[in-house]
Amino acid sequence: MSGNGMERLGFIGLGVMGTPMARHLISQGRDVTLWNRTKSKAYDLVALGAKWVESPGQLTEAVDAILICVSKSEDVQAVVNKLLPFLRPGQLVIDHSTILPKVAEGIAKQVAEKQGFFVDAPVTGGSMGANKGTLTIFMGGETEAVERAKAITAPFAKRAEHVGPSGAGQMTKMANQIAVGGALLGLCESLAFAQKAGLDVRKTCELLSQGAAGSWAFENYGPKILARDWEPGFSVTNQQKDFLYCQEAAKDLSFPLPMTELAHKLLAILEQEGRGGDTTAALYDVYLEMESEE
């Protein structure tokens, strides 16, 4: 523990999500040590008061709890493999990445063998939620570890819930991404229909968002569509990765995901056009290009 009684925190992964999350911790006076593959991404945070180390091992030795926010299952596993030789009994590893539930379960066992604790804690709310500090976090793990994780992540979360044992956080995130896919399809299909029908798309979006059609997608991505602002947000590439994880998890359950498969297929068109870095709301353009098969 640090001198002020708070846990000393390590943060690994300073991307679109991780950077604002780490910034909230620092702004709340938390003791934060950073490591990232690209050192330059840490400069602004170090200027705000964070510390920098040259390796995941050095970070592990300097902190009580480690937060990870990277991209894919294999990325998280690679980071954890670098932490494990240095992990001490009682240390907590919190993973905010979106990964396969079975990978989270495996990592939890690896950390437990070192007498540490692991919480799979994927987030939802996008970069907007990360910047505002209003993320929702799904936490899987032992109750004691989850309670520690809740206290640590409070500066960037509006809600954090214990949803079950290791892997349950990621399984809940899969359910979230399935719902996100449906909302994205509904938003883009609806507004593209309005455009084709010659309606005032801006007024249509405003009216629909206030009624039964309203959703997080309408509220947050509707304005981006109207402005033709395709900056993430949440990128097509990242969404496609998550949809693949959803489909793999569903396959293990022998459960079909027809809507998610459709969203995955349509977003693939943007990837083929070299637009994987655009926000998922750019799916609107795909709808506008569609022609009836009649």
The arithmetic mean of pLDDT across residues 5-25, rounded, is: 94
Q: Looking at residue 233, what is its pLDDT?
A: 78
Rounded distance between C-alpha atoms, residue 4 and residue 18, angstroms: 24
What is the largest distance, in Å, between two alpha-carbon atoms of the chain? 71
pLDDT reported for residue 3: 38
pLDDT band per the 50, 70, 90 thresholds, residue 4? very low
Does the structure show a pLDDT above 80 at 242? Answer: yes
The structure tokens listed for 211 are 């009624």
Band (293; pLDDT cuts 50, 70, 90): low
Pairing between strand 123-124 and 135-140?
A: antiparallel
For residue 230, CA distances in Å to 192, 276, 283 come to 16, 11, 10
On the question of pLDDT at 241 being above 90, the answer is yes
pLDDT digits (tens, 9 = 90+) for 106-150: 999 999 999 999 999 999 998 889 999 999 999 999 999 999 999
pLDDT of residue 8: 98
User: Tokens 């692991």 belong to which residue?
Assistant: 118
Cα separation, 124 vs 234, whole angstroms: 10
- Average of pLDDT values for 69-76? 97
Q: Is 39 a catalytic residue?
A: no
Q: What is the DSSP string of 137-154?
A: EEEES-HHHHHHHHHHHG
The verdict on pTM exceeding 0.95 is: no
Is the confidence at residue 2, as pLDDT, over 50? no
- The confidence band for 211, taking pLDDT boundaries of 50, 70 and 90, is very high
Domains of the chain by range and CATH? 9-165 (3.40.50.720), 172-289 (1.10.1040.10)
Q: Which of 51, 173, 196, 203 is catalytic?
A: 173
